[in-house]
Amino acid sequence: MTATIARIATRPIRIPLRRPWGPDVRDLSVIEVEVEDSDGAVGWGFSWTPTIGAAAVRAHLDHDIRDFAIGREAEASALWDPLWAHLHEAGGGGITTIAMAGLDLALWDLAGRRSGLTLTDLVGRQHETATAYGSGVNLHYSLGELVAQAERWVQEGYDAVKVKVGSPDLARDLERIAAVRDVLGPDRGLMIDANQRWSLQQAERAIGELAAFDLAWIEEPLRADDLAAHVELRRRIEVPVALGENVHTRYRFAEFIDAGAVDLVQPNAVRVGGVTPFLRIADLAADRGVELAPHLLLELSAQLALALPGRHLVESVEDASFEALGALAAPSPVTVVGATASTTGQPGLGVRFSDELTDAAASVPPTEDR
């Protein structure tokens, strides 16, 4: 008899950042999701916001998602589509898919723990290692701090790094990227990320000048949902365009790809709704001949990259992995030595958060099992 979902519980978690991502971004919010099936097997997943919407995500899980999922088959790919169709009235992406990810990841974790397989092996291992690139949330760093970070990346063995741009004064960006390129030398890859800060005209001008530093890609140059502007920008510039961390469904990824607006897609496995839709987006990108590099969440992204055909870069943000932040209750499922990422053999997702990180001050109180 097929096991069904018997219990879903959530826990709010707040993780202090070692290096703030800005004056008002000093910690990350996570909602841990525990699922138990009718045979008593348990899995753990999580939703990650990281700073906005945690209470709403938890409420969605505790009410709409749990009400729908209890009693249904405890299998991620069987649940995802009917759950998304049920929730679609509340929005096709955003809070909806972020919340769905918590349960989807927990079900994948349950399957891995039940079988004794890592997430990579459960999906189907294609590689033993993946290449990581150094990344930082560093637009607020002084020039000296940025140069020191680039020097650390070189010392650690990264062959490619990513730096934030989008300063109010373009001259500041030019000075900073020139300094980073000097540290990297001519043979290492350099990517830049504007985090949606530019208009079409600003992006064309900025990229036109920054292109002199031999850029591998420009990430999120424009507002993430402005497809028409991305199409026009891609027509005007030579630097490859990367985007996807704020694209939430396979349908939107298909629109950007088919419109010729993007060269490399960056799905975030939580924001798109979990492993199940992430794998579909990866298939879509492969079918269309578009490159893919998972966004953030090293412990999850590296495991997925190792299960995809072809080689895919994974993002290693300085001092921001769950392990580096001291957030895990057990050894990390992923290790990075130099620029090489590999799995450590933890079954399932291998991501269990420390009990000490429970956010007692969360605005939505813990809920009782139904």
Segment 209-245, tens digit of pLDDT: 999 999 999 999 999 999 999 999 999 999 999 999 9
Instruction: Write down the pTM of the prediction.
Output: 0.94
Distance CA 275, CA 106 (A): 10
**The predicted structure's pLDDT at residue 364:** 47
Bridge partner residues of 316 (DSSP): 134
Show the tokens assigned to 302: 């590296």
Q: Which residue bears the tokens 């298939």?
A: 283
Closest C-alpha among 284, 344, 272 to residue 308:
284
- Token pair 């930082």 is found at 136
Q: What whole-number distance in Å separates Cα of residue 290 and Cα of residue 234?
A: 14
Q: List b or e across 41-61, with b for residues whose CB sees 16 or more CB atoms inside 10 angstroms.
A: ebbbbbbbbbeebbebbbbbb
| Amino acid letter for position 59 | A
Q: How far apart are CA 97 and CA 17, in angstroms?
A: 25
Q: Are 274 and 300 in contact (CB under 8 A)?
A: no
Examine the residue annotation and report whether 295 is marked as an active-site residue of this protein.
yes
162 catalytic per annotation: no
Look up residue 67 and give its amino acid.
D
CB 312 within 8 A of CB 71: no
**Secondary-structure class of domain 5-117 per CATH:** alpha beta
| Contacts of residue 106, Cβ cutoff 8 Å, sequence gap at least 6 | 8, 33, 34, 35, 43, 44, 45
Helices and strands in the chain, H and E counts? 12, 13
Q: What is the pLDDT of residues 173-204, one digit of tens each?
A: 999 999 999 999 999 999 999 999 999 999 99
The catalytic residue among 60, 164, 230, 312 is: 164
Cα separation, 140 vs 120, in Å, equals 36
Which residues are 364's β-sheet partners? none
Under-50 pLDDT residues of the chain: 363-364, 368, 370
Which residue ranges does the chain devote to CATH 3.20.20.120?
A: 121-343
Given CATH 3.50.50.60, say whether it is the number of domain 121-343: no
pLDDT at 6: 98
The pLDDT assigned to 363 comes to 46
Distance of CA 350 to the CA centre of its chain: 16
Selected catalytic residue, list 162, 230, 248, 295 = 295
Q: What is the pLDDT of residue 365?
A: 54
Pairing of strands 189-193, 160-164: parallel
